[in-house]
Structure 1
């Protein structure tokens, strides 16, 4: 019984913090979004008028301490004035990728269906994959983005060298405690395990692992303590 009361009280506190963070976030209107929390998992509901707001709301929830995961059920309802055809969105997405210096646009394909953008192709680094998604999710009339880009690195350090590179980077990061994170290298795959205090620390550990040379995949099994 005591444990249940603790979880309920913790969930209520997380819910208040998420609502406060949404009110603090200038890109969203807090009255547009509903927030529920169960055992540290946040569910966002409601509707917004563009995909960038949906993404900003999700990021706001992830910033809160003790959030274990976020289910983003916010619906994107475009106003009639913002509606564009799929070919128009595809052209705008292609141009946005071309203008982004971090994106090797020649290796990517863009498909749009009912306002939903799908990215496919190969890049050498994870940051290029993320940059491509960032370029298109801010476009008007986009209802959602599926990032199907593959990371195919060139060159690979030895497993011991790669593990040490990641450990050193985690030590340098002010947002991670390397003592709470375990690293296993399997070829070009890095597996992360352990337990941390926030989703942001979990995400930072994954970002660090992806930044290592020769990494093609990261399996992040780090848990967030509630």
Structure 2
């Protein structure tokens, strides 16, 4: 097992190695395997890239962010320009219904509100906005709108789990309460766990998936 000092060294080296990140102003602290990033980066894309970089370092147990986005003068845009850019990129997304998501912008922070049918639409919207020039942060308040009764598709979820080659559906239990799905029982690998969660989120109308799966 790596010491905190070695882990700090590895994280700093990985951040410096990643060409998409200017790590000159990023501080790294490690305590019991928990990595804290502080300081600032030049744009939101670098902030999210830093998260991905740290998570791929072996030995990292968790990541805490105290990392600010400090836009340079050339990267700053008015809130009107930011809002227009967000609206345009969302309107151009074929998987997101036009007008489903409303946008506000304040001090470079884009807030998304509205309702969509699928969770992947909610995630796609946030991902698209993150990469826009002049956006300092994204607050995703988009909710999932139920399309059909979850009880009616419970059998379909179980069937989807059984179709997965890596998944033993007999050890996974599914309960439905309102618009929430709870997965419990046993899995043998991370791939089984991820497939089960993905199948649950793929159900129209799901607002939350509670993961109580355990490894055996």
Structure-2-length-normalised TM-score: 0.78
Q: Is the 8 A contact 1:118 1:148 kept in 2?
A: yes
**Larger Rg: 1 or 2?**
2
Q: For structure 2, which runs of at least 5 residues remain unmatched after alignment?
A: none
1:186 paired with 2:176, answer: yes
Q: Alpha carbons of 1:107 and 1:213: their partners in 2 closer, same or farther (altered >3 Å)?
A: closer
Alpha-carbon distance between aligned partners in 2 of 1:72 and 1:85, rounded to the nearest angstrom: 26
Q: Is the CA contact 1:93–1:139 (under 8 Å) kept in the aligned structure 2?
A: yes
- The answer to whether the 8 Å contact 1:166/1:212 transfers is no
Does structure 2 retain, via aligned residues, the 8 Å contact 1:210–1:218? yes
Inter-partner Cα distance in structure 1 for 2:93 and 2:139? 18
Pick from 119, 128, 135 the counterpart of residue 126 of structure 1: 119
Which deviates more from structure 2 when the two are superposed, residues 67-76 or residues 214-223? 214-223
Shift of 1:47: 0.9
Partner of residue 88, structure 1: 81
CA RMSD in angstroms comes to: 3.4
Higher relative contact order (CA 8 A, sep 6+): 1
User: Is the contact between residue 146 and residue 204 of structure 2 (CA under 8 Å) also seen in structure 1?
Assistant: yes
| Contact 1:190 1:215 survives alignment (8 Å) | yes
Aligned with 1:104 (options 97, 101, 109): 97
Q: Given the two structures, how large is their TM-score scaled by the length of structure 1? A: 0.75
Counterpart contact for 1:196–1:222, Cα < 8 Å: no
